Chains A and B, each alone.
Chain A
Amino acid sequence: MKRFATIVTLAALVLLAVFLLYPLALVLDASIRIDGTGGLTLGNYAAIVKSRYYLGSIGNSLLCAALATTFACAIGIPLAFCLARIDIPGRALLLTLATLPLVLPSFVSAYALVLLFGHAGVVTTALRGIGIPIGSIYGLPGIVIVFTLTLYPYVVMPVLAGFRAVDASMEEAARNLGGSRPYVIRTVLLPIVMPAILAGGLLVFIEALENFGVPAVLAEDRPFLAVDIFKLFAGESDANPAAAGALSVLLIACTALALLVQRHYLGKRRFSTSARSAPAKLPLTPGLRLVATIVSWGIVIVSLLPFAAVLMVSFLRFRGPVLTWELGLGNYATLLSGSYRPLLNTLTLASIAAVATMLIGAPIGYVVARHRSRLSGLLDFVGMVPFAVSGTILAIGLIIAFNSGPVILTGGWLILVIAYVVRKLPFAIRSSSAIVHQLDPSLEEASINLGVSPAKTFATLTVPLMASGLVGGLVLVWITAASELSATIVLYASGWVTTTVVMYHAIEGTGAGLAAAAAAVLILVTAIPLLLINRRTGKQETTVI
């Protein structure tokens, strides 16, 4: 049993060392070298500190992430409370819809905002037509809105679970001791769900800090960290890999710090509240219940509206960048007339990456959950590093690492798959170790006791028992790989253009109709599998996310 765990752990550590730690080390190395000569220097960092532009970039990114986190909590916590404790009509459907923004590509939502409120947006032109000027949504306001509307489910899911895990007797005890309802909420409920709020909030913060697609669409020329790193590394005019490295290191430092704060805080505060009876729904007056219903449904509908808008717009005709009200499939014709390759690439790469991620992640998740040792603790930690590393930075590291030398991977499909696998690995590890935690360890011991070796027990007993959960994880990895932009945009080569790349270039250029069609395809490609597993696995899906 120990040998099996050791083999898996060592193999996983080697894999992560080669495809994660080594590329990251090269990024760090690039940040302390003089561009061209290769001498050691801290000049790149000094240049950033002296540059108002880059300081502004860091400031904008941090401010934007902080605002998005605040707003996501502000709408996520009440929504979670309503879902947990108020009898809202259509609660089950609402819950499913509320998870959707997490897996739909967020830059599509950003693009929807451009289509509606941009320079040539539908709403902008309409309002201008009747003489009402509208403020610009480019830059901070738009980006914060999109992050809030696409990331708030990160807060809803754990907080909802937290509210549900409070045993009814806990609240009843507090009421019995003389606490009024608001007093009980403040002194019992909120402290218990606080760790969940923090966990969700920090996920929003990190995701908002790292995200490349949304600022790429909405920042225009305003400085944003994730976009600047990409431009400095891959830009045609002002490439400066050393500065890109330095900014990358700073971004990783910010996200790693946030992760460490979260781990430290959560480590001290783990309330094991195994609820035997879920708390009862709150008795509300019809008026209050109506308000709760409107607010809850309102939040979810508004967050999904951009995606619906993109779907509709994709069926309208564009005249240059200007939208007309004529129906037509012209956008799709343009998208597919070039080539089917991008769509095919997206489907192929996502499929390979999803299978590979789960094949690698499931044994790691198993070992991390079952065999606590110093080595598996190290693996658990290294396995979470990709959380703190944005796709762009990982991609830059992979390019530096595998652009020359004995192994050359750049220009092919494998490097894209590697990037997807490494980025989605924490998710695969977490979801499979969560499933393993629910499996009684004595099942495996019984199998071993009856004469089946540990490795064979894992393959023939544990994996089948994990299967339904693993399928959910597989589909979610597939979805997120299919809509991946931040690493793809750095790594893709001419033969391996994906739908996301097509859309990105269409937005950058003038192909507004093409972008809308590509966005619509991405929505369908991600939403259909999600709805399929939702039907299949029912309530498991929320735990998978």
Chain B
Amino acid sequence: MTTIRIENLTRSFGAVRAVDDISLDIRHGELFTLLGPSGCGKTTLLRMIAGFVDVESGSISFDDRRIDSLPAHRRDTGMVFQNYAIFPNHTVAENVAYGLKARKVPAAEIGARVEKALERVRLVGYGQRSPHQLSGGQLQRVAIARALVIEPAVLLFDEPLSNLDAQLRTEMRIEVRQLQQALGLTAIYVTHDQEEALAISDRIAVLRHGRVEQVDTPERIYRLPQTAFVAEFLGSTNMVPGIAGAFDGNNTVVAAAGTEFTVRGEIAAPGVPVLLSLRPEALRLGNDSTGPLVQARLALREFLGPVQRLHATLPDGTQIRIAALGGQVFDVSPGAPLALTYDPAQIKAFPAP
């Protein structure tokens, strides 16, 4: 069990600030995800914790021990690499035993611990195989076993599932989460896949241009994004620019896309430009008159099985996406008018850039 404290961490490559004054507190036994587009600094931050990238300024501590000047091989982290990094000249068991040997664990104990680690990742009986006889998913399990078996202070995952196909990826992320919870290890998980991050994290830090945009639980970060970037990066939201109108004590009216939207709270002074985030699932079809209405026209319907995605045109021509359940009967043809309703509390407004 380890807490990790990162304070004012900075690292530049040439003129680019890959990590720009980041501070984070990661709790005992937490699976903490660094999420962001490529080039946001998430991998650099992870590699700084592992000791592969030097710290320019700031500090990293495990519990109360500063570790940022320790050489990489003395930091006691267990890292799972994107491309597995399984030693091709060693068997599966030798790969898993590698870190134990480096720690001078008695030989008798090594065998038992390797066996147990392979059992945990459901690879019993694979110990004597060569890595080239294993599939990608199995190799990734070996990599996880190799990192777990040393019982590191911190587990580090560097986009561990990005080389696997879609179905295996969703299976493996559950295994990773269950192992991490069962062992109670503190883990930092880097990914650019927002669904993966939402699915397994205790908390998520969204990074952009080397800075932290928001740190929160998956649900809060999805429902209550603090910046337009976070709203847009998590879930494919519709971003519509508009001008704030009067506040009626409860809601603010925003003129946008040739129509009007009602947003909960006083979001801005009248006349101030804003950006509205309309989640596709926050817009509902029909005139059940429980909320405000918006008139649109259907442009295109994508039927995806469990859900269907509707592309609609707002009065000024702005295209938006609406998510509906696949089972919902639908008989509007393209070009026909479409009535949309929503809950004002579900619309988020951000200051226009």
Contact string, A4-19, partner B, CB cutoff 8 A, digits 1/0? 0000000000000000
B78 part of interface (Cβ distance < 8 Å): yes
Nearest-neighbour CB distance to chain A for B100, whole angstroms, equals 9
Is the Cβ of B79 less than 8 Å from the Cβ of A451? no
| B85:A465 contact, CB within 8 angstroms | no
- Contact sample, A vs B, 17 pairs, CB 8 Å cutoff: A442-B81, A442-B85, A443-B88, A446-B87, A446-B146, A447-B87, A448-B51, A449-B51, A449-B77, A449-B79, A450-B78, A450-B98, A450-B102, A450-B146, A454-B71, A454-B72, A465-B89
A464–B89 CB distance below 8 A: yes
Are B85's CB and A445's CB within 8 A? yes
User: A443, B73: Cβ atoms under 8 Å?
Assistant: no
Interface 0/1 of B140-183, CB less than 8 Å to A:
00010010001000001000000000000000000000000000
Between A442, A445, A451, the greatest number of chain B beta carbons within 10 A of the residue's beta carbon is seen for: A451
Minimum CB–CB distance from B33 to chain A (whole Å) comes to 20
In the complex, which residues 49-73 of chain B have their Cβ closer than 8 Å to any Cβ of chain A?
Answer: 50-52, 54, 71-73
User: In chain B, what residue has the closest Cβ to A1?
Assistant: B72
Residues from chain A with Cβ under 8 Å of B72 in the complex? 1, 445, 448-449, 454
Q: A451-B150, A465-B89 are in contact. List 19 more A-B contacts (CB 8 A).
A: A440-B85, A442-B81, A443-B87, A445-B85, A446-B87, A448-B52, A449-B51, A449-B156, A450-B99, A450-B102, A450-B146, A451-B73, A451-B74, A452-B73, A452-B98, A453-B71, A457-B73, A461-B87, A464-B89
Flag if B88 contacts A465 (CB, 8 Å). Answer: yes
* A453 nearest CB neighbor, chain B only: B73
Q: Is the CB of B81 within 8 A of A445?
A: yes
Whether B103 contacts A443 by the Cβ 8 Å rule is no
Which residues of chain B come closer than 8 Å to A453, judged between CB atoms? 71, 73
Contacts known (A442-B81, A454-B73); A447 close to B89, Cβ less than 8 A: no
B71 near A443 with CB under 8 A, answer no
A293 to chain B, nearest CB (A): 38
Q: For residue B90, which residue of chain A has the nearest CB?
A: A461
- Choose among B79, B85, B150 the residue that contacts A443 (Cβ–Cβ < 8 A): B85
A-B pairs, top 7 by smallest CB distance, nearest first, are: A450-B99, A451-B102, A446-B85, A442-B85, A442-B81, A449-B79, A452-B102
Closest to B80 in A: A446
A465 to B85: give the CA distance in the assembly, Å. 13
Q: Write the nearest CB–CB distance from A352 to chain B, whole angstroms.
A: 28
Residues in chain B near residue A445, CB distance under 8 A? 50, 52, 72, 79, 81, 85
CA distance A177 to B297 in the complex (A): 41
Q: Does B82 contact A (CB under 8 A)?
A: yes
- The smallest C-beta distance from B81 to any residue of chain A, in angstroms, reads 4
- Chain A nearest Cβ from B256, distance in angstroms: 45
**How many residue pairs between the two chains, A and B, have CB atoms under 8 Å in the bound complex?**
68
State the Cβ distance, B340 to closest chain A Cβ, in Å: 45
Count of chain B residues with Cβ under 8 Å from any Cβ of A?
Answer: 28
Asked whether B79 lies within 8 Å of A440 as measured between CB atoms, the reply is: no
Q: Kindly state the separation between the CA atoms of A147 and B88 in the bound complex, as whole angstroms.
A: 43
**A2: which B residues are within 8 A, CB to CB?**
54
Report if B130 contacts A (CB, 8 A).
no
Decide if B3 is an interface residue (CB 8 Å cutoff).
no
Cβ of A452: which chain B residues have Cβ within 8 Å of it? 73, 98, 102
Bound CA–CA A303/B156 (angstroms): 58
In the complex the two chains form, what is the Cα distance from A158 to B102 in whole Å?
Answer: 42
The docked-state distance in angstroms from the alpha carbon of A464 to that of B89 is 8
Asked if B138 lies at the interface with its beta carbon under 8 angstroms from chain A, I say: no
The docked-state distance in angstroms from the alpha carbon of A461 to that of B85 is: 12
B238 on the A face (CB < 8 A)? no
Contact with A along B118-144 (1 / 0, CB 8 A): 000000000000000000000000010
Interface string of B264-297 (1 = CB under 8 A from A): 0000000000000000000000000000000000
- Chain B CB within 10 Å, residue with most, of A449, A452, A465: A449
Q: Find chain B residues with CB under 8 A from A449 CB.
A: 50-51, 72-73, 75, 77-79, 156
> Closest residue of chain A to B47, judged by CB?
A445
Determine the chain B residues whose CB is within 8 A of the CB of A442 once the complex forms. 81-83, 85
Interface readout for A290-316 with B: 1 if CB under 8 Å, 0 if not? 000000000000000000000000000
Question: Residue on A with the closest CB to B149?
Answer: A450
Query: In the complex, which residues of chain A have a beta carbon less than 8 angstroms from the beta carbon of B102?
Result: 450-452
Give min CB distance, B157 to chain A, whole Å.
12
Cβ contacts A459-472/B at 8 Å (1 or 0 each) = 00100110000000
Per-residue 0/1 for A121-144: is the Cβ within 8 Å of any B Cβ (1 yes, 0 no)? 000000000000000000000000
Q: Which residues of B contact A1 (CB under 8 A)?
A: 52, 71-72
CA distance A444 to B143 in the complex (A): 14
Residue of A whose beta carbon sits closest to that of B98: A450
Expressed in whole angstroms, the minimum distance between the Cβ of A487 and any Cβ of chain B is 37
- Within the complex, the shortest CB–CB distance from B105 to chain A, in Å, comes to 11
Query: In the assembly, what is the distance between CA of A457 and CA of B78, in Å?
Result: 16
A464 proximity list for chain B (CB < 8 A): 89
